[in-house]
Structure 1
Amino acid sequence: MSIMSGFCQISPAGLCVYSNEQTSSITGYSSEEMLGMGWVKAIHPEDRHRVVAKWKKCNANRDTLGTSFRLLRKDGEVVWVIGQIAPFLAEDHRVLGYIATLSDVTGRKKAEKALQLSAERFSKAFNASPSMMAIYRLADDRFVDANNSLLEAAGYSRAEFVGRTVTDLPFWVEEKTRNSITGLLQGKEAVHNLEGRFLTKTGEVRIGLVSAEVIELNSEPCMFVAINDITEQKRAEAAIEVERRRLFTVLHNLPANIALVEQDYSVRFANNYFCESFGESSGKYCYEALYGRKTPCEACRIDKIFQERVSCKWEQVHNGRPYQLYGYPIHDIDGTPLALTMSIDISELKQLKEEMLRLDRLNLIGEMAAGIGHEIRNPMTTVRGFLQFLGAKKACAGYKDFFDLMIEELDRANAIITEYLSLAKNKNIELKEQNLNFIVKSLFPIIQADAMLADKYVALVLGDIPALPLDEKEIRQLILNLARNGLEAMVPGGTLTIRTYNDADKVVLEVQDKGQGIAPDALKKLGTPFFTTKDKGTGLGLAVCYSIATRHKAKIEVKTDSGGSIFVVQFQRKSPVAPQMN
């Protein structure tokens, strides 16, 4: 008998007549206090009836009673014991007394209770979890349990699922998923968030993140599998990706330089227009892709977009061309904060504004010219007439040289007024179908004579161009003004080239000189009335050319460098007449 067990002898009447020290240790009563005590008194009231009933039954059959019950110690503490009571019989089977043993199993009972509570908690958590969970034995791959979430998602009843093996139940779409789990766990590793596809009872394929670990259940190694269904998440991601691609398709085809820039200035996306303008830029820093810089641009507003989450607008110059930039704060589908930047080349817009400003000035001066030009000419004509009259008189013959000089200056003033009147916006013009080449050829002798006097040359390069609605007098004046400006810009020996050709829907007239080019400051003021770089110029020649071009709905562009200048006049071709349908 183990010394850890209590031992006592009980009389036929149920009173203790002997107990050892271990009994005292278990009950809290000394051996003296135990003498004469009824053994039933120490049993916990809630267990007393059950134990006494069992004892009576065993006693009637002269059997040994063995059971566990709670015992009340002297200090009121409750302990669990396993008690055995065996009758001590005489030869005639009379009961002479009883021998009882007690073993304290409180620690084991607490462990069992804790284990039971743990099992209950696991069971509740297992079945209440929104994640799909299942357990199968590794020995035969047979499912021993599945929670409600898995059964509902897969469409099986518990009877249809539990008890079947992994192989005969069509659950994993790919065998490699199950093999991957088994292979990892054989290496004593847990599996976390392995993406796999599984089948429902109806054959629907769903996607889950699978985690698995080997556990021991009823002393058997089992596989615990948890699955988070991410099917809807995957569908949402796919739908977002479709929208993202659609957005990128739209961005790719917009006629503006568009880029998505991260907070560190790296380009996450650049559209086709951007790449055509600046080259492939994805993965580069924006300042590197655009300007070849190693540091961000001083005027950049991207920092402000990220820090203040506001849209911005600014201007920058690239390769001498101005760009209007717009920046907007956005988030990519992965949550990354981005700046959507859009840059537009505004060179033509600025030129157009300058052209509109110049035309406004021309119109203002034209209106003034129309209003006062005739009023000035009338008295000038009268003065000129009297000067001629006096110059013819013998009495004034000594002043004839002075009269001739005054008449010459009046004629020069009249010529300036004539040019001045040419600026009038509402000047009447007479348009007739004629070929620009014909007008150029008719002027060639005059231009060539001017060139020969200055030891310069003129070359004609005339293309096959269609007729245009032109006012011959005005076009002659435009060509003469441009040609004479070109000749005056060259040193002796230079060649002036007059060229005509077709360019898409336009007929182009070019007048090219071999001078020293036009200074940038002067280039901005070209066509402004009374602006001139010549010592004796009036500043009206080019202004008249621009007015004539405007009345013909033509456009003048200037190309210049140190090798000379080209004045390009673009006339719009007549739209072809659509064929009549019968």
Structure 2
Amino acid sequence: MDQASLLRSFELEFRVAKNPALFESLLHRIFTLSSEIISITTFEEGLCLYANDAFFEVVGFRREDIIGRTFDLWANPSDRKELVLMLKERGTVRNFESDFLDEAGNIHHALLNLQCVEILGVQCILTVARDITKDRVQMKESLHIELLDDLRQALKSLPNLVFRLEKDENGMLVYTLSEGKIAEAMGLTTEAIYGRTVPELFPPEIYAVAEPHIRRALNGEHTEFEIEVGGVVLHKLMSPYYENDRIKGVVGAAIDITEKRKLETLLQRSEMSSVLGQLAAGAAHEIRNPLTAIKGFVQLAGELFDRSGNAKGREYIDMAMAELSRVNGLVTEMLWLRKPKEIRYEPVSVPKLLQEMVPLLHVEANIKSIQVLLHMEDVPDIMAKSDLLKQVVLNLCKNGIEAMNEGGSLHLSSWSAGGKVFVGIRDTGPGIPAELQGQLFTPFLTTKPTGNGLGLFICKQIVQDMNGDIQIESSPQGTAATLSFPAAPA
């Protein structure tokens, strides 16, 4: 049959004779080829007149269970009532979302398009639906991933630390989350430590502090504590982490309180210095008056011993005068604590100042065969008071000389870096006992039999008044004091 004959025959059967077999074949193939779910039900009773193959594939029922029967697959029965009312008003409903149940009771989410049609004089509903369950799941998963990513980015931007520890399949408590600026600065982000335990990441002394609080959190308690990690003081909070109403781990947060602790320490030192200054000034004034009288009487007694030729008495007088001079020196240093600090500073050349001090140091150093060595760079001037800075350097050098045995060496150096000028005083003595190294600037703390314990304390006060800093490091190979000052403006 040629194409023209085929066209005439099709029009005759389809349009004129309205061949029912041809209609049924075409409609069945159209509906079957469609991936959408198609059904025709009576308007009032909901009797199913037709459903395509896609319908049965999705709902799981057999054809004989559906066709010619009234069925209700609605997960929410009120949806059908709402649709019937809408169809009565409009005749058509588009993009209506609803849930329906399959034979196994699983919920599917569908997008419905419905239209009123009349079949053999009976009002029916033609429903074309698309199962969007997978689309919805994918959308939820995508949204979940997006929310997780947003949450992770938010946590990373926090100035603090947020972490979570969970039990793995072996019951070990491991990190599954660690974010925030603190985590980033310390190299403890989730990427870096995921799946690792606290003992793996931190030394025993840190774990010993944290472990009791971790145990408390695992027991359902909320706890907080302070801990120092890598020079950073953290205030940590820990709480139990629940999953299905069971404790599965620990969640926590931490804030950096390093600066706060420094400020508190400075405030305490400032208050202590103020109180100490007031006590020292009062005590010094009370001591100086009788001290002057005692010194005068001792000198007078010395003259009497000289006249009588009593050599032993003279020896005792010299010893008494030496002790009185030491007491007077202590009183002078105590009074310095109450001196006004409104001092005008001027540019000072550190190399020049050190060179001027060498002759003063040689006198005492030569007695013990100690070498005084200079290592100086050309550095910028600093804003300081020359005589006060000399007092500091001289005190530190004297400490070093006194600490060394014969044949040692005292190294004085100067250098600059990062806009600061540094002065170094290093000796080759036996070092400071480890238990005292954290208390070096405490007033009246001394290891010298004849020391008063105010030297380093006053040195630090002088240096800080000049906007500088002083650090002391010690080992069995010797002690090094480092002064640092801002470079004077060019």
TM-score greater than 0.5 by the shorter chain: yes
2:86 aligns with: none
1:370 aligns with: 281
1:124 equivalent to 2:72? Answer yes
Which of 520, 545, 557 aligns to 2:434? It is: 520
Q: Which has the higher helix share?
A: 2
How far the C-alpha of 1:478 sits from its partner, in A, is 0.9
The one-letter code of the counterpart of 1:445 is P
How far the C-alpha of 1:129 sits from its partner, in A, is 7.8
Unmatched 5+ residue regions in structure 2?
1-62, 80-94, 100-108, 118-127
How far the C-alpha of 1:354 sits from its partner, in A, is 5.1
1:314 equivalent to 2:262? Answer no
Which of 290, 307, 324 aligns to 1:410? It is: 324
1:518 and 1:257 map into 2 onto residues whose CA distance is 38
Identity within the alignment, %:
23
- Work out which of the two has the higher radius of gyration on C-alpha atoms and give 1 or 2: 1
1:244 aligns with: 151
How far the C-alpha of 1:498 sits from its partner, in A, is 2.1
1:262 equivalent to 2:166? Answer yes
2:238 aligns with: 327
TM value normalised by structure 2: 0.63
Q: 1:129 to 1:231 in 2, by over 3 A?
A: farther
Q: 1:552 to 1:149 in 2, by over 3 A?
A: closer
What SS does the aligned partner of 2:459 have? helix
1:122 and 1:348 map into 2 onto residues whose CA distance is 76
1:282 aligns with: 194
Q: 1:460 to 1:296 in 2, by over 3 A?
A: closer
1:320 and 1:516 map into 2 onto residues whose CA distance is 27
Which of 381, 384, 387 aligns to 1:467? It is: 381
What SS does the aligned partner of 1:301 have? helix
1:124 and 1:492 map into 2 onto residues whose CA distance is 107
Map residues 202-217 of structure 1 onto 2, 5 A cutoff: 208-210=132-134
The question of whether the paired residues in 1 share the 8 Å contact of 2:164 and 2:252 is answered with yes
2:336 aligns with: 422
The question of whether the paired residues in 2 share the 8 Å contact of 1:451 and 1:457 is answered with yes
Q: 1:379 to 1:303 in 2, by over 3 A?
A: closer
Alignment size in residue pairs: 382
1:489 equivalent to 2:403? Answer yes
What SS does the aligned partner of 2:71 have? helix
What SS does the aligned partner of 1:528 have? coil
The one-letter code of the counterpart of 1:542 is L
1:357 and 1:425 map into 2 onto residues whose CA distance is 20
How far the C-alpha of 1:490 sits from its partner, in A, is 2.2
RMSD (CA atoms): 4.5
How far the C-alpha of 1:482 sits from its partner, in A, is 0.8
How far the C-alpha of 1:393 sits from its partner, in A, is 7.2
The one-letter code of the counterpart of 1:249 is K
What SS does the aligned partner of 1:433 have? strand
The question of whether the paired residues in 2 share the 8 Å contact of 1:299 and 1:316 is answered with no
Unmatched 5+ residue regions in structure 1?
1-114, 132-146, 161-170, 173-197, 199-206, 211-227, 578-582
What SS does the aligned partner of 1:230 have? helix
Q: 1:446 to 1:385 in 2, by over 3 A?
A: same
Map residues 50-129 of structure 1 onto 2, 5 A cutoff: 123-125=71-73
Q: 1:573 to 1:155 in 2, by over 3 A?
A: farther
CA deviations over 1:38-91 (Å, ceiling 9, x no partner)? xxxxxxxxxxxxxxxxxxxxxxxxxxxxxxxxxxxxxxxxxxxxxxxxxxxxxx
Map residues 93-172 of structure 1 onto 2, 5 A cutoff: 123-125=71-73, 149=97, 154=111, 156-157=113-114
How far the C-alpha of 1:439 sits from its partner, in A, is 2.1
1:546 aligns with: 460
1:423 and 1:373 map into 2 onto residues whose CA distance is 11
How far the C-alpha of 1:480 sits from its partner, in A, is 0.9
CA deviations over 1:484-512 (Å, ceiling 9, x no partner)? 11122223222222222224243322222
2:421 and 2:78 map into 1 onto residues whose CA distance is 76
1:458 and 1:568 map into 2 onto residues whose CA distance is 17
Q: 1:156 to 1:124 in 2, by over 3 A?
A: same
